Chains A and B, each alone.
Chain A
Amino acid sequence: MEDAALIEKAHLVQTTFERLMAELKKVIVGQEDLLRHLFTCLLCGGHGLIEGVPGLGKTLVVRSLGQVLHLKYSRIQFTPDLMPADILGTNIVNQDDEGRRFFQFFPGPIFGQIILADEINRATPKTQSALLEAMQEEKVTVFGKEYPLEPPFIVLATQNPLEMEGTYPLPEAQVDRFFFKLKITYPNAEEMGEILDKTTEEAAPELHPVVSADTILEMKRLVRQVPVAEHVKSYAIRLVLASHPDDPLAVARAKQYVRIGASPRGVQSLILGAKVAALFDGRFNASLEDVQAVALPALRHRLLLNLRGEAEGVDTDAVVSDLVRGVPTRTRA
């Protein structure tokens, strides 16, 4: 019985994700990789940055995820005049029954569990930075007082890569705090037809929560239990080191186009993402293939291109692909 319970627990992630996908498919067509990676962010305690042109359902995906996860959902529409207090909350003067006035903290939208930071690059860096503490430490500090955020906490930000006017690129420190950067792609013709059917004929189906916060927290603990062999860790480290242009392991494209390589958060993302990928696959160990599978979303936003790379329009995805191809999975003793 003990074994059966253990096996059931081990397969919790897999079964939960299957139930999640089944519910989300009611409103979302395709985008399975995006959803899996978003779920990975949630299980790893990370945050996701979703990039895509308008109209591809970025907001819909995040909102739907919030519904099926049975978490407190908040949406922040980032605009140029958005202030940090609009996100974090602020102290307001209140008066009690006896007429005494006092400051009362009025929490902002950050006090949710699944936060949609829509078009995050439209706010000023000052406002964007308001998310830093929340994303990293899952708490906010207002007027010197700390306010913990309710777990599980996840920020899912979206940004439009095309409209540059009136936008503010995210600071490197904030970009690095995103566990994955995910790119939402155009649906194919079949998916487009299905989208048409679901959005133009009947009323949008109602989504039901399938995963509780406790289950998510339990799954987060399980992810940390997945065994990882030393050579898999070593491979992840070498992948990150190879993204640094001055490192001996650097691949050719990194030497040419990268100014700053991935940070240690990149290695953490690779290993944690690989663990979740293993659980999705029904395995109990992270493998080299799992690391390779999450290399793109985990590293693409952590590479800062140099002037030459920017001028030539080099895509960081190409650099990461070179890393995966160029770094050997096994080292000679």
Chain B
Amino acid sequence: MATPAVFPALLVRLERRILIQELWRWLKAALLLALAFNLGAAGLAKIAGLAVYDVSLAAWLVLLALAAAALYALRTFRGTLEALRGLDERLGLKDRLSTAFEYRLSGRQSLFVPLLYDDAARRASEVSERSWFPFTFSRSDLLTPLLASTLAVLLLLDISGPGPASRSAERQLLSRVSQQMAAYARPARKEPARPEVEERTPDAYEKLREMAEAVKNEKMDRQELTKQLSDLLQALKQERLGKVQQLEADLSPMPGGSMAQLRPLAEQEVRPENVRQAQAQLEPYFDGELPASLARSLGDIEASGKTEAFIEQTLKDLGAKKPEKNKPLDLAENAPAGGPSREPGRAQDRRGGPGTSPGQGQPSAENAKGKEGGAQGGEAQPDQAGSKSEKNEDNSPYVAGHGTSNEKMAPYEMKGTARPPQPEADLAGQGERYSIHVRSLPAPGRAGLPEEEILRPYRQAVQEALKREDIPPAYRAYIKNYFLSIGLGQDDRGKDDHGRRSPD
């Protein structure tokens, strides 16, 4: 028979084992949680780019995992009695240990209790201590190596995101960029050397200063900075475009006031020399001295161009994709809301194309002075033909596609061409009205309209001419064949006078 001290000694050993078991359970949970937390953070940082994952964050996550695991271990702590019940069940001890422990704990006495202590101690001693709480493998144990290996792969292979070194470089870059932005956008009173720049794009400067401050305070990351700079650049270009359009509108009625001089100012990139060149071209119209409002507008455009150039350079430093420089700004679509609508004028301009296209004879300064007088421009509407033609012949400043007002002119109504007799109806006949929606200004040397749109009015005019009774019937087929031989009217064979296809 065992001595009475055997069971207490066994209990001490059991309780120690149970404690170790609980600690091991806690550590396993902590390890699992730490790996999961770190994997999540590393994944967010490396794959999604939503966080910065470094040693300090990893350490904090480990501490968090330890605390969470401790909480979990405390909440699920089974206690010695429960552990002994499990041990009884596992070792087939038929509740000897748990009953003995319970009676010892409660102090209840029975005739059989001493015998039970001895029996329990003897039975438990027959099994090695390692068998008390053997290593068990569960599915959750698979998670630990899986998470560890995934985290290692993520950290070592550096899948897509920046490592610590590149993050440091990025911080340096952001710091440098923010300093540049702050210096560029410094208030005017602090840098009187550039007053005109400071005064002319105040909103942009304010935004640049705000962005620089946000970057400095790490409230804005590189991605957000790039986005906001791009938005600001776009806004500046829109604003500049609006100003250029306004200038065009203001200068159109003037003798020689063509927008050709202003066209470079509507490009994606504006340089000071472009502004100066436009200024030089405009000055002769104002006796060598531009009006203050015009000078200020040009100054605004120049300042905007400088700021745009600065932002583009900053974006380039940040690694943003550079916008296409050669692409002209879309005047039609980018016209500011409420501003002067240039669409009708553009349409006339396109129809009279030679007047505005650089490749088709821009009016020079001399032309603007009336020496040649817009000879390549269009004529006035038929109802104004008399007076307008006289003006034209008198070197009146006609511009291609434009009359002295905003009336429409048919494209075939060119200087020197005989105007065919017109019916009461519109030039385009009773059918569709001639209308072109100009989508964008053409680049030099490029066609801005489809050929079909140019030819259609000519074709219609020919049809109208053929219909007239003053052509002798014997010559009608001859004339028609002539035009057919040169490629006109091919598509109209089989159609009636109104363009409808005949039944046969």
Which residues of A line the B interface, CB within 8 A?
A: 3, 6-7, 9-10, 222, 225-232, 281, 283-290, 329-330, 333
Pair B116/A330 contact, Cβ less than 8 Å: no
Within 8 A of A (CB), among B97-132: 98-100, 102-103, 108, 110-116, 119
Query: When chains A and B are docked, how far (Å) is the Cα of A37 from the Cα of B113?
Result: 25
Listed from nearest, the 10 A-B pairs whose CB atoms lie closest are A287-B94, A284-B112, A229-B99, A225-B111, A287-B95, A285-B99, A284-B116, A284-B115, A225-B110, A229-B102
Give chain A residues whose Cβ lies under 8 Å from the Cβ of B276: none
Give chain A residues whose Cβ lies under 8 Å from the Cβ of B114: 3, 6
Pair B1/A227 contact, Cβ less than 8 Å: no
Give chain B residues whose Cβ lies under 8 Å from the Cβ of A226: 110, 112
Pair A227/B99 contact, Cβ less than 8 Å: yes
Pair B115/A289 contact, Cβ less than 8 Å: no
Pair B1/A285 contact, Cβ less than 8 Å: no
Besides the contacts A225-B111, A289-B94, A329-B89, what 17 more A-B pairs have beta carbons closer than 8 Å? A3-B114, A7-B1, A7-B115, A222-B111, A226-B110, A227-B103, A228-B99, A229-B98, A231-B98, A232-B95, A285-B94, A285-B95, A285-B96, A285-B99, A285-B116, A287-B94, A287-B95
Give chain B residues whose Cβ lies under 8 Å from the Cβ of A330: 85, 89
Query: When chains A and B are docked, how far (Å) is the Cα of A232 from the Cα of B95?
Result: 9
Pair B85/A227 contact, Cβ less than 8 Å: no
Pair A6/B100 contact, Cβ less than 8 Å: no
B99 nearest CB across to chain A (Å): 4
A218 nearest CB across to chain B (Å): 12
Query: When chains A and B are docked, how far (Å) is the Cα of A284 from the Cα of B110?
Result: 10
Pair B95/A284 contact, Cβ less than 8 Å: no
30 intermolecular pairs with C-beta atoms under 8 Å apart: A6-B111, A6-B114, A7-B1, A7-B115, A225-B110, A225-B111, A225-B112, A227-B99, A227-B103, A227-B116, A228-B99, A229-B99, A230-B102, A281-B94, A283-B94, A283-B96, A284-B115, A284-B119, A285-B96, A285-B99, A285-B116, A286-B99, A287-B88, A287-B96, A287-B99, A288-B95, A330-B85, A330-B89, A333-B78, A333-B82
A286 nearest CB across to chain B (Å): 8
Give chain A residues whose Cβ lies under 8 Å from the Cβ of B112: 10, 225-227, 284-285
Give chain B residues whose Cβ lies under 8 Å from the Cβ of A225: 110-112
Known contacts A227-B103, A230-B102, A333-B82: A6-B115 contact under CB 8 Å: yes
Give chain B residues whose Cβ lies under 8 Å from the Cβ of A287: 88, 94-96, 99
Give chain B residues whose Cβ lies under 8 Å from the Cβ of A333: 78, 82
Query: When chains A and B are docked, how far (Å) is the Cα of A232 from the Cα of B94?
Result: 10
B124 nearest CB across to chain A (Å): 13
A280 nearest CB across to chain B (Å): 13
Known contacts A7-B115, A284-B116, A333-B82: A227-B98 contact under CB 8 Å: no
Q: Is the interface of B mostly helix, strand, loop or mixed?
A: helix
B120 nearest CB across to chain A (Å): 8
Give chain B residues whose Cβ lies under 8 Å from the Cβ of A288: 94-95
Give chain A residues whose Cβ lies under 8 Å from the Cβ of B96: 283, 285, 287
Query: When chains A and B are docked, how far (Å) is the Cα of A14 from the Cα of B43?
Result: 67
Which residues of B line the A interface, CB within 8 A?
A: 1, 78, 82, 85, 88-89, 94-96, 98-100, 102-103, 108, 110-116, 119
Pair A3/B1 contact, Cβ less than 8 Å: yes
A4 nearest CB across to chain B (Å): 8
Closest to A231 in B: B85
Give chain A residues whose Cβ lies under 8 Å from the Cβ of B110: 225-227
Pair A229/B115 contact, Cβ less than 8 Å: no
Closest to B94 in A: A287
Query: When chains A and B are docked, how far (Å) is the Cα of A58 from the Cα of B398?
Result: 135
Pair B113/A227 contact, Cβ less than 8 Å: yes
Known contacts A222-B111, A227-B113, A229-B99: A283-B78 contact under CB 8 Å: no
In this complex, which of B89, B108, B115 has the most chain A Cβ atoms within 10 angstroms of its Cβ?
B115
Give chain B residues whose Cβ lies under 8 Å from the Cβ of A289: 94
Query: When chains A and B are docked, how far (Å) is the Cα of A228 from the Cα of B115?
Result: 14
Closest to B114 in A: A6
Closest to B82 in A: A333
Give chain A residues whose Cβ lies under 8 Å from the Cβ of B103: 227
Give chain B residues whose Cβ lies under 8 Å from the Cβ of A228: 99
Query: When chains A and B are docked, how far (Å) is the Cα of A216 from the Cα of B113?
Result: 22
Query: When chains A and B are docked, how far (Å) is the Cα of A205 from the Cα of B377?
Result: 146
Query: When chains A and B are docked, how far (Å) is the Cα of A243 from the Cα of B82?
Result: 26
Give chain B residues whose Cβ lies under 8 Å from the Cβ of A9: 111
Query: When chains A and B are docked, how far (Å) is the Cα of A240 from the Cα of B38?
Result: 50
Give chain B residues whose Cβ lies under 8 Å from the Cβ of A7: 1, 115
A235 nearest CB across to chain B (Å): 10
Give chain A residues whose Cβ lies under 8 Å from the Cβ of B111: 6, 9-10, 222, 225
Query: When chains A and B are docked, how far (Å) is the Cα of A245 from the Cα of B184?
Result: 84
Query: When chains A and B are docked, how far (Å) is the Cα of A9 from the Cα of B1?
Result: 15
Give chain A residues whose Cβ lies under 8 Å from the Cβ of B98: 229, 231
Give chain A residues whose Cβ lies under 8 Å from the Cβ of B94: 281, 283, 285, 287-290
Query: When chains A and B are docked, how far (Å) is the Cα of A201 from the Cα of B88?
Result: 51
B367 nearest CB across to chain A (Å): 98
In this complex, which of B85, B89, B99, B113 has the most chain A Cβ atoms within 10 angstroms of its Cβ?
B99
Give chain A residues whose Cβ lies under 8 Å from the Cβ of B102: 229-230
Query: When chains A and B are docked, how far (Å) is the Cα of A288 from the Cα of B94?
Result: 7
Query: When chains A and B are docked, how far (Å) is the Cα of A10 from the Cα of B113?
Result: 11
Query: When chains A and B are docked, how far (Å) is the Cα of A111 from the Cα of B116?
Result: 39
Query: When chains A and B are docked, how far (Å) is the Cα of A332 from the Cα of B111?
Result: 31
Pair B95/A229 contact, Cβ less than 8 Å: yes
A102 nearest CB across to chain B (Å): 48
Closest to A285 in B: B99
Pair B85/A285 contact, Cβ less than 8 Å: no
Query: When chains A and B are docked, how far (Å) is the Cα of A228 from the Cα of B95?
Result: 9
A293 nearest CB across to chain B (Å): 11
In this complex, which of A285, A288, A289, A290 has the most chain B Cβ atoms within 10 angstroms of its Cβ?
A285
Give chain A residues whose Cβ lies under 8 Å from the Cβ of B116: 227, 284-285
In this complex, which of B94, B111, B112, B113 has the most chain A Cβ atoms within 10 angstroms of its Cβ?
B112
Give chain A residues whose Cβ lies under 8 Å from the Cβ of B88: 287
Give chain A residues whose Cβ lies under 8 Å from the Cβ of B119: 283-284
B1 nearest CB across to chain A (Å): 5
B58 nearest CB across to chain A (Å): 35
Closest to B106 in A: A230
Query: When chains A and B are docked, how far (Å) is the Cα of A209 from the Cα of B116?
Result: 32
B50 nearest CB across to chain A (Å): 39
Pair B115/A232 contact, Cβ less than 8 Å: no
Give chain A residues whose Cβ lies under 8 Å from the Cβ of B1: 3, 7
Give chain B residues whose Cβ lies under 8 Å from the Cβ of A281: 94
B395 nearest CB across to chain A (Å): 105
In this complex, which of B88, B95, B108 has the most chain A Cβ atoms within 10 angstroms of its Cβ?
B95
Closest to A11 in B: B115
Closest to A288 in B: B95
Closest to A9 in B: B111
A6 nearest CB across to chain B (Å): 6
Query: When chains A and B are docked, how far (Å) is the Cα of A6 from the Cα of B119?
Result: 13
Query: When chains A and B are docked, how far (Å) is the Cα of A291 from the Cα of B115?
Result: 21
Closest to B112 in A: A284
A132 nearest CB across to chain B (Å): 33
Query: When chains A and B are docked, how far (Å) is the Cα of A130 from the Cα of B85?
Result: 46
Give chain B residues whose Cβ lies under 8 Å from the Cβ of A232: 95, 99
